[in-house]
Structure 1
Amino acid sequence: MKKLNWIVFFVLIFFAHNAVAQQPFPYWKDVQKFKQQDSIAFPESNQILFIGSSSFTKWKDVNDYFPGYKILNRAFGGSRLVDLIRYRYEVIYPYNPRQIVIYCGENDFAAKDNPSVDEVMERFNTLYKLIRSKYPTVPLAYVAMKPSPSREHLLPKFSEANKRIKQLLAKDKNAAFIDVYPLMFNKDGSIMKDIFVEDNLHMNAKGYAIWQKAIKPYLKKPAR
């Protein structure tokens, strides 16, 4: 019986090792799914490209919120700015978008390495410059890092980073900062809890309705 347990143990280790080997970087498999989809039917050009982390990833019905706009959602997992930089050739560069909308940065602050605002801003600057190197004039919009009950301890960092990103984008006539941050608080200054699902991090339909109203005025309609 003991021998059998050891065999099972080594089999599990083998498969765990293979799983890691098959995914050399975080979210590798998510990105490969996008590539597979594109190989079957490549998305048409001139769509609004949504990129970023799970607040966009989980917005599966995003096109229903914005009728009349064609949105290509290429957000993946709980990605960080460093992940968008790593996978720019897969999720940003191929699509020739009409506009790019970003939600990312929150997970950078929540990571184990506990980066400073300066470090996250360096990452954002790198991503911004890489996007502009490929798409110099494509309209770009950044959705502010949101407040959520489970990450209330990070609000000072979110607030400072949002302020600095807004200042940076203000220098670009083809960029906009979409400030959803203040819209997600109650009048008493507490974070709205009824707009989140059970994990107190990701939003429900009520939360996305707030985002819809904030984002829609910034979306670029297709030329007629």
Structure 2
Amino acid sequence: MKRHNTLHLVLLLLCYLVLPAAARAQEEKPPFWDEIQAYKQQDSVQMPPKDAILFVGSSSFRMWDDMQKMFPKHTVINRGFGGSTLLDLKRYLGDIVLPYQPKQIVIYSGENDLAGGTVQAPEVLERFQDVFTSIRQELPEVPIVYVSIKPSPSRWQYKPVMEEANKLIRAYMKAQPHTTFVDTYSLMLGKNKKPKPEIFLEDSLHMNNKGYQIWQKALSPHLKR
């Protein structure tokens, strides 16, 4: 009986030690870890071609399912992930940007940084500068395109911060070589200077095909042949 009780206590102790450790390991994963690992697994099976155009950033790229079809004259790699911020993009540069040796990088990130209402435009600029300089350190000659923060109806309360962030990033990029700032923000507004509801999905955040057609038209002249 004594031996049985001892074994029972040992098993209980192991449960207390192992289960919290497993839970902690899960909690310690950085945001979007699983998505990034899925991309890396995909790359291990078939690495995308070098000298492609890399689209990287948040879910507005991730949900662009027919991106390659919309840019038939270019080879594109889509590495949008989740509701990511510029901080997340910086974290994963070594995983889903630098390894591809792209001939051009197109970034859409920054909108989610504002979504919590605590980050102001100067901080968005600082985060973008951190991403930009980190890319430049490894890929000094690769052209970088930044797609302006879009005017999502569900986040219209952040309009002044969106517009200021776009203005700051545009000015910063103007002073950098091999860069382009693409203004999609103004193209997505109606005559009433509010977001066109017909170009968004029901969540008033992500775009439908009409929205992506606007982006396609705005981006096409700036993509490297």
Alignment TM-score, normalising by the size of structure 1: 0.88
Say which one has the larger Rg.
2
Q: In the alignment, does 2:72 pair up with 1:67?
A: yes
The superposition leaves residues 168-193 of structure 1 with CA deviations (integer Å, 9 ceiling, x where unpaired) of 11112300000000001111212100
User: Contact 1:143/1:179 (CA < 8 Å) preserved in 2?
Assistant: yes
Which of 213, 217, 223 is the equivalent residue of 2:221? 217
Q: Which residue of 1 aligns with 2:51?
A: 46
Which of 96, 100, 119 is the equivalent residue of 1:95? 100
CA positional deviation for 1:31 = 0.1
In structure 2, the gaps of 5 or more residues are 1-18
CA positional deviation for 1:19 = 8.8
Q: In the alignment, does 2:31 pair up with 1:26?
A: yes
Q: Which residue of 2 aligns with 1:167?
A: 171
The superposition leaves residues 91-138 of structure 1 with CA deviations (integer Å, 9 ceiling, x where unpaired) of 1110000100000000001136x1121211111110010010011111
User: Contact 1:23/1:29 (CA < 8 Å) preserved in 2?
Assistant: no
Measured in 2, the distance between the counterparts of 1:36 and 1:190 equals 41
Runs of 4 or more consecutive aligned structure 1 residues displaced over 2 Å after TM superposition: 17-20
The superposition leaves residues 128-172 of structure 1 with CA deviations (integer Å, 9 ceiling, x where unpaired) of 100100111111100000001100001111100101111111112
Which of 58, 61, 65 is the equivalent residue of 1:56? 61
- In the TM superposition, 1:110-121 aligns within 5 A as 110-111=115-116, 114-121=118-125
CA RMSD in angstroms, aligned pairs only: 1.7
In structure 1, the gaps of 5 or more residues are 1-13
Cα distance 1:35–1:19, how it changes in 2: closer, same or farther (>3 A)? Answer: farther
Measured in 2, the distance between the counterparts of 1:200 and 1:32 equals 29
The count of residues paired between Structure 1 and Structure 2 equals 207
Q: In the alignment, does 2:154 pair up with 1:154?
A: no
Q: What is the percentage of aligned positions where both structures have the same residue? A: 46
